[in-house]
């Protein structure tokens, strides 16, 4: 049991899916896992463990933003032995050719957060995903007929930002989309020697204002979950 996760050692699988929204964790457990058991209700940040195609998999809400996600990721790795952590989130597109409903596999994440600037002064650390998981997710998604985009994302500390110019600049540098957690997942996975992956569905386009309907979001979301679950299968 940790400060934020009320589970016993062994309650959580080595492979953990990480949605920002705890109710998305419940949705995944109820619709994709067999015999799912809820192991955490602390702060309402629900976590479940169940079976997917016969393998134990957990799903843990992380909350929004780097500080919240960093707490859960740190405890999952260091106190519960998680080795394969896959974020399943939403993001806003910042490239013209990235469309709402696209599924993005984040190869790397730049950030305006000071987490790494404070920890490693004088260095611009580049948080990158596990090549093994990136490759597998791309292959699994492509086999499922999805057009998977692989590239850089921007993990921002600010959702309601005045920084449209910053996003345009990042777009010119090839960054595909903005979200709020991948940089800390990739940094902590590297720091503790485990595998991290972030898969994102594009829920809106920051430049055009286009948004998915809730029905479209659900469909794309289910496709992303299947890619994530098949990616963590041994």
Ligand X SMILES: O=P(O)(O)O[C@H]1O[C@H](CO)[C@@H](O)[C@H]1O
Ligand Y SMILES: O=c1cc[nH]c(=O)[nH]1
Q: Which residues bind ligand X (CB under 6 A)?
A: 19-21, 64, 89-90, 159, 179-181
Q: Which residues bind ligand Y (CB under 6 A)?
A: 90-92, 159, 178-180, 203-204, 206
| Smaller CB separation from ligand X, 55 or 114 | 114
Q: Which does 204 bind (CB under 5 to 8 A by kind): ligand X, ligand Y, none?
A: ligand Y
CB 141 within 8 A of CB 148: yes
CB 204 within 8 A of CB 100: yes
Query: What would the two tokens of residue 182 be?
Result: 């991948």
Residues in the chain, how many? 234
Q: Which of 11, 21, 112, 204 is catalytic?
A: 204
Q: Which does 206 bind (CB under 5 to 8 A by kind): ligand X, ligand Y, none?
A: ligand Y
Q: What CA–CA distance (Å, rounded) separates 137 from 53?
A: 17
Q: Which does 178 bind (CB under 5 to 8 A by kind): ligand X, ligand Y, none?
A: ligand Y
User: 122: how many CB neighbours lie within 10 A of its CB?
Assistant: 5
| Smaller CB separation from ligand Y, 5 or 200 | 200
Q: What CA–CA distance (Å, rounded) separates 109 from 107?
A: 7
Residue 87 is assigned to a ligand binding site: yes
Rounded least distance, CB 201 to ligand X, Å:
8
Which residue's structure tokens are 């492979």? 15
Rounded least distance, CB 19 to ligand X, Å:
5
Alpha-helix runs per DSSP H in 79-213: 115-119, 131-143, 164-172, 182-191
| Smaller CB separation from ligand X, 120 or 159 | 159
| Nearest to 103, CA basis, from 219, 208, 185, 233 | 219
| Smaller CB separation from ligand X, 54 or 133 | 133
Rounded least distance, CB 153 to ligand X, Å:
9
- The verdict on whether 124 is a catalytic residue reads no
Q: Which residues are catalytic?
A: 204
């Amino acid at each position: 049991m940790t400060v934020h996760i009320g589970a016993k050692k062994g309650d959580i699988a080595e492979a953990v899916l990480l949605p920002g929204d705890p109710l998305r964790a419940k949705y995944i457990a109820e619709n994709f896992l067999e015999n799912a058991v809820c192991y955490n209700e602390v702060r309402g940040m629900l976590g479940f463990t169940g079976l997917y195609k016969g393998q134990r998999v957990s799903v843990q809400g992380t909350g929004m933003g780097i500080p919240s996600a960093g707490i859960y990721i740190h405890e999952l790795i260091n106190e519960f032995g998680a080795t394969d952590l896959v974020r399943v989130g939403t993001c806003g597109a910042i490239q013209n050719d990235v469309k709402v409903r696209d599924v993005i596999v984040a190869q790397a994440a730049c950030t305006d957060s000071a987490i790494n600037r404070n920890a490693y002064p004088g260095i611009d650390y580049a948080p990158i995903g596990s090549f093994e998981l990136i490759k597998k997710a791309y292959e699994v998604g492509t086999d499922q007929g999805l057009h998977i985009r692989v590239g850089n994302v921007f993990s921002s500390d600010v959702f309601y930002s005045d920084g449209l110019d910053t996003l345009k600049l990042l777009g010119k540098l090839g960054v595909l989309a903005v979200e709020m957690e991948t940089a800390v997942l990739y940094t902590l996975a590297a720091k503790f020697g485990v595998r991290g992956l972030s898969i994102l569905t594009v829920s809106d386009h920051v430049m055009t204002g286009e948004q998915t309907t809730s029905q479209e979001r659900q469909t794309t979301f289910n496709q992303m979950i299947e890619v994530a679950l098949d990616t963590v299968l041994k």
